[in-house]
Amino acid sequence: MNAFSPQLHDLGRLAFQHSPAPQLVTRHRVIVDCNEAFLQLFGYPRDALLNQLTLLIYPSQADYHAIGKRSHDWLLDSENGFYSDERFMQHKSGEVFWAKSHGYTLTPEDPFKLMIWHFERLDRTHQGTGDLTPREREIALRLAISHRTVEVHRARLMRKLQAKTVVELVSKIIMVA
């Protein structure tokens, strides 16, 4: 064997570490391992993440708990052990960004016992009115206001906070809160 003929286990480790897809392995929402692409996406050095709660990469504790409950409940009812959503995540610098996440549990009877996650950064720009997010629709329904009222308030906030996109708006609001 030469220097570039690693064992099969070593190949798997090498593939994980150098995969272009940001990947994370968690045990009960504690970071067990992550690859280089994940470190680049979130801006942390490896030693700052290992053995830490995934709370570090969420913009707020409320998001951490709400998304945790939603994904856990989904995984308990899921037959394939797969969960996917779009959410806000937070870079070490404090920048909040929109991301697609995909999670797969290796322990369906206890979903968070051992999971593999993949993240994709999504750069979404606001396309004008009429494209309310599901969350904005939910807020409108709860407040018993029209979608147009939500659009007007969102536009005013974007103008006042000089945000060019909805993601930038939410990021600025979270930084202020």
Same domain, 66 and 151: no
Same domain, 25 and 96: yes
The pLDDT value recorded for residue 152 is: 76
In a domain, residue 78? The reply is: yes
Same domain, 73 and 151: no
Both structure tokens of 155: 């536009």
Domain that holds residue 162: 134-176
Same domain, 118 and 154: no
The answer for residues whose C-beta is within 8 angstroms of residue 126's C-beta and 6 or more apart is 158, 164, 165, 166, 169
In a domain, residue 24? The reply is: yes
Would you write out the chain's pLDDT as a tens digit for each of its 177 residues? Answer: 445 555 666 888 889 999 999 999 999 999 999 999 999 999 999 999 999 999 999 988 988 999 999 999 999 988 899 999 988 899 999 888 889 999 999 999 999 999 999 999 987 543 444 566 677 766 766 676 766 677 777 788 888 888 888 778 877 777 766
The pLDDT value recorded for residue 10 is: 83
The pLDDT value recorded for residue 1 is: 47
* d(C-alpha 46, C-alpha 93), whole Å: 15
* d(C-alpha 56, C-alpha 73), whole Å: 22
Same domain, 18 and 86: yes
Radius of gyration of the chain (CA): 19
Same domain, 116 and 140: no
User: Domain of 32: which CATH number?
Assistant: 3.30.450.20
Where among 84, 100, 122 does a domain terminate? Answer: 122
In a domain, residue 90? The reply is: yes
In a domain, residue 2? The reply is: no
Give me the helices (H) in 43-130, please.
46-49, 61-77
In a domain, residue 159? The reply is: yes
Same domain, 67 and 93: yes
In the DSSP assignment, the letter for residue 92 is T
The pLDDT value recorded for residue 9 is: 66
The pLDDT value recorded for residue 176 is: 65
In a domain, residue 129? The reply is: no
* d(C-alpha 86, C-alpha 99), whole Å: 6
Same domain, 103 and 156: no
In a domain, residue 51? The reply is: yes
Same domain, 25 and 108: yes
Same domain, 117 and 47: yes
Same domain, 21 and 60: yes
The pLDDT value recorded for residue 56 is: 95
Same domain, 43 and 111: yes
The pLDDT value recorded for residue 131 is: 62
